Amino acid sequence: MHQIARLSAQGVMALFVLAAPLVAQTGGGPADWRAVARSHGIDGGDLDCLAAQKFLITNERFVQVFDPYVKSDLPVFVTADALLNAFHVNLEHAVLSLEVAQAKRLEPMVVRLLEAVRSLEVQILDDPELKEAVRTARWRAELVLGTALRLVGNDTLELDPAVDELVRAEFRRVLEARDVAARDWLGGEHYFDYSTFKPRGFYDLSERLQRYFRAVRWLQAVWFRVDKDDELLAVLMMAAALCPRAAGGALTAAQRSDRELIRFRRDLVGGPDRPDLLDAAEWIRWSVRLRRTSLLMVMSRAQLAAIRKTIERHLAANPPQINDRFAPPPEERSRHAYPDLRVLSTAQVPDDVLFQRTTSLKRPLPSSLEVCAALGSRVARELLPETDREELLSTIDRCRGSFQGVSHYQEYLSCLAALLAPADVRAPALFASRAWAIKSCQTVLAGWAQLRYCWVLQARGGYSFFGGHERPPGFVEPYPDFYRKLARLSARTRAAIRAAGPVCVTPADHIERIRSVVRCLQICAWVERGGEALSELSRSERTAADDMLRLAWDYGFEDVRDQDERKLRANLMAWLQKLADQLKRGSLQHLSPRAQKRLSWLLQEHVVDSTESWAKLEGLCDRLGALADKQLEARPFNEADRKFLVDFGPVLGNVMGYGGNSYLCPTDDAPRIVDVFTDGTSASPMRILHAGVGRPRALYVLYPVKGEEILCRGAVLPCYEFTYPERLDVDAWMRILGSPSHPGQPAWVRPIVEKAGIGPPRVPEPR
């Protein structure tokens, strides 16, 4: 989360500016709001559009979604976009903390699985072919687990030379993350898409998370076919590590930890799309016994056939819905999900299921509007392509049931659905208009893209395959049901984070981060080139470097002012390296006593608690729900309500991690991008559908109050949908957004944005 900024002289001035908004519109008549709109850069046809449809999205750009509420000289209009963005900032932070903890548990789990496969004694009853299948199964399991270990950074375990050669080859391909190739050891009939191993989302923030992403994605990607003895046995042998050592026996602490690692996402994202090791452990629990210090699995042809039949019944009742195999065209079968087993399974999220069913060889890519249609938007149904629309809508309607459920993911979709419901009859007419319905679709798709970004490792993505009276200080988007649903979801998220247990940060974590920053600064030649070199780092590397350099300056580095800048940078690098070395030894002797006292927290294990921000978000949503009710019932706001709206910008900034007055200088990191579907009908050039959001833009609304229209301003996040030949991360997306060739917004959004469109940003002038 963001550090609390010091209150500068400029910050004090800004606070005084904030105290005096809302004075621009006085008197009566339509000319008043038009003059104010012109002062905000709205004129000509855009002014007429605002007058006709009562709202307009402009190209006025902000760094963060709370910005227009902090720096506004107009009444505010609190949008659902703002709340959804605040929700996702907190969700990303929470999931990131959980994944950092899971990253520490993954390597020990894979080691235990590999040790179990090696030590497991498989007793085959009178079947030579099955004995040979056991040998091949052990080889296959070592290949999969050995590659996973190499991906998390463990290069110490010795493997059979033949296995080791394959492991090294797969390791190189995964790191390159470019190939689409058939692999003989996977059967050779389908292509393996290595581009999916490129770390994306917040998983590129550190080397540990990048390694974790690749390893988890690997364990999710490798398939084991049920009809092949050796592949089925490989899964069963790995699953033996999760079984009690005796019938009805208790699990060990390590087994409970491994099971939790596999299971922890199910309540949040949804059930697995395919059976994984947890399911396999249940199917073989009566076949595994402890013999002295080793495991024994007794297996006959009849027992294996019985287990296979159990799996086939399970797959028939719970068929996989999402195809993640890249098949060469024109194989129509590639459009469907194949029944197989995985070490880890991705979640069966409803939008992936929807896209799998709405695509075909004739229609290789879906439209994100299908999500809005599935959530109940009538205008989205009308905006879908006319070709085969009835068949498409019929398919969408059959999928609508999967959007309803009890998972955290489905409950979030229910919040979005509340924005697409018909407007309350008490709301102003503009909220029942077709134009506002289009705006709501954009809000929903921006929220959906942020959700997919957060769960990029779990949602796999398929293949185609008032006049004369005192004016109020602002208004809220009139959807009380949405605010209350988001409040309940925030409470549920807070409870889930608390139930997952504390996230501990250890000295080893600080050591790894400091050394990672030092390596980055060495690679970009920061000592020699100075600040120019930092521009070559990725977004995550720049953030980490900034944090570490600030730590050095603020907490102990002795600044010698008469040094030249190059020598100063060299000494600072040496100081950071020495800090990491001494942390490893458990001391801070090279620091002054004052610095030792200030940095002693680096030597302590401490718990990161992110539940407070969720409580704040829950309270914020409840408050907005109450205000929406008041608006719809035409009840006046009291003094506390008015103060809440005036202070909404700083309050929202605080919920999003900007403590103190740091919201006055927000970080430029709002854009998000995620790949959601791959056109598998052609391996080259690949067409990958991306969904994303750009930097916040201004939304101007003419809100009717007692026969008068009051111009107010809020924020929206523009949504994007486009294909690209490779999988984009946020750094690449931000470069594209800043280039002349950036993709435009979908055509259906154009009626509600200014005539020039959302292009090169029009940054608001200081007021």
| Local confidence band at 285 (pLDDT 50, 70, 90 cut-offs) | confident
Both tokens of 510, joined, read 């600080």
| Local confidence band at 239 (pLDDT 50, 70, 90 cut-offs) | very high
Least confident stretch, 200-204, 276-280, 305-309, 519-523: 519-523
What pLDDT, on a 0 to 100 scale, did the predictor assign at position 564? Answer: 76
| Local confidence band at 245 (pLDDT 50, 70, 90 cut-offs) | low
Q: Does 296 score more than 80 pLDDT?
A: no
Average pLDDT over residues 173-197: 85
Per-residue pLDDT of 28-75, as tens digits, reads 444 589 999 999 999 999 999 999 999 999 999 999 999 999 978 899
What pLDDT, on a 0 to 100 scale, did the predictor assign at position 26? Answer: 47
Q: Which residue has the tokens 């008041």?
A: 630
| Local confidence band at 228 (pLDDT 50, 70, 90 cut-offs) | very high
Both tokens of 509, joined, read 């974590």
Rounded Cα distance, 441 and 435, in Å: 10
**Proportion of the chain in helix, strand, coil states, percent, rounded to 5:** 55, 10, 35
What pLDDT, on a 0 to 100 scale, did the predictor assign at position 605? Answer: 64
Q: Which residue has the higher pLDDT, 407 or 659?
A: 407
Q: Which residue has the higher pLDDT, 451 or 684?
A: 451
Rounded Cα distance, 277 and 259, in Å: 9
What pLDDT, on a 0 to 100 scale, did the predictor assign at position 659? Answer: 77
Per-residue pLDDT of 716-763, as tens digits, reads 999 999 999 999 999 899 989 988 888 889 999 999 999 888 875 554
Q: What percent of the chain has pLDDT over 90?
A: 50
Average pLDDT over residues 14-20: 34
What pLDDT, on a 0 to 100 scale, did the predictor assign at position 428? Answer: 96
Cα 663 versus chain centre, distance: 23
Q: Which residue has the higher pLDDT, 550 or 445?
A: 445
Buried b (16+ CB within 10 A) or exposed e, 275-307: bbbbbbbebbbebbbeeeeebebebeeebbeeb
Kindly report the pTM of this predicted structure.
Answer: 0.86
Q: Does 638 score more than 60 pLDDT?
A: yes
Q: Which residue has the higher pLDDT, 108 or 206?
A: 108
What pLDDT, on a 0 to 100 scale, did the predictor assign at position 423? Answer: 95
Listed ranges 4-8, 85-89, 535-539; the one with the highest mean pLDDT: 85-89
Q: Does 525 score more than 70 pLDDT?
A: yes
What pLDDT, on a 0 to 100 scale, did the predictor assign at position 4? Answer: 32
Least confident stretch, 144-153, 190-199, 262-271, 429-438: 262-271
Both tokens of 6, joined, read 């010091």
Cα 554 versus chain centre, distance: 32
If you ran DSSP here, which 8-state letter would residue 5 be given?
B
Chain length of the chain: 767
What pLDDT, on a 0 to 100 scale, did the predictor assign at position 457? Answer: 85
Listed ranges 302-306, 501-505, 560-564, 636-640; the one with the highest mean pLDDT: 636-640
What pLDDT, on a 0 to 100 scale, did the predictor assign at position 67? Answer: 94
What pLDDT, on a 0 to 100 scale, did the predictor assign at position 321? Answer: 87
Least confident stretch, 195-209, 318-332, 355-369, 396-410: 318-332
Average pLDDT over residues 537-558: 72
DSSP codes joined into one string, 310-348: HHHHHHHHS-------BPPTT-GGGGSPPPEE-SS--B-
DSSP codes joined into one string, 565-602: HHHHHHHHHHHHHHHHHHHHHT--TTS-HHHHHHTGGG
Average pLDDT over residues 675-686: 77
Q: Does 544 score more than 90 pLDDT?
A: no
What pLDDT, on a 0 to 100 scale, did the predictor assign at position 527? Answer: 86
Q: Does 415 score more than 80 pLDDT?
A: yes
Least confident stretch, 79-93, 569-583, 698-712: 569-583
Q: Which residue has the higher pLDDT, 601 or 310?
A: 310
Listed ranges 279-288, 305-314, 362-371, 427-436; the one with the highest mean pLDDT: 427-436
Handedness of CA 125, 128, 130, 136 (dihedral sign): positive
What pLDDT, on a 0 to 100 scale, did the predictor assign at position 509? Answer: 81
Average pLDDT over residues 198-221: 92
What pLDDT, on a 0 to 100 scale, did the predictor assign at position 579? Answer: 83
The residues that bridge with 312 in the sheet, in sequence order, are none
Average pLDDT of every residue of the chain? 84
Q: Does 337 score more than 80 pLDDT?
A: no
Average pLDDT over residues 305-319: 90
What pLDDT, on a 0 to 100 scale, did the predictor assign at position 629? Answer: 96
Per-residue pLDDT of 342-397, as tens digits, reads 999 988 899 999 999 998 767 889 999 999 999 999 999 999 988 889 999 999 99
If you ran DSSP here, which 8-state letter would residue 249 be given?
P
What pLDDT, on a 0 to 100 scale, did the predictor assign at position 7? Answer: 34
Q: Does 22 score more than 70 pLDDT?
A: no
Both tokens of 211, joined, read 């390694």
Q: Which residue has the higher pLDDT, 327 or 467?
A: 327
Q: Which residue has the higher pLDDT, 67 or 159?
A: 67
| Local confidence band at 15 (pLDDT 50, 70, 90 cut-offs) | very low
What pLDDT, on a 0 to 100 scale, did the predictor assign at position 287? Answer: 66
What pLDDT, on a 0 to 100 scale, did the predictor assign at position 463? Answer: 65
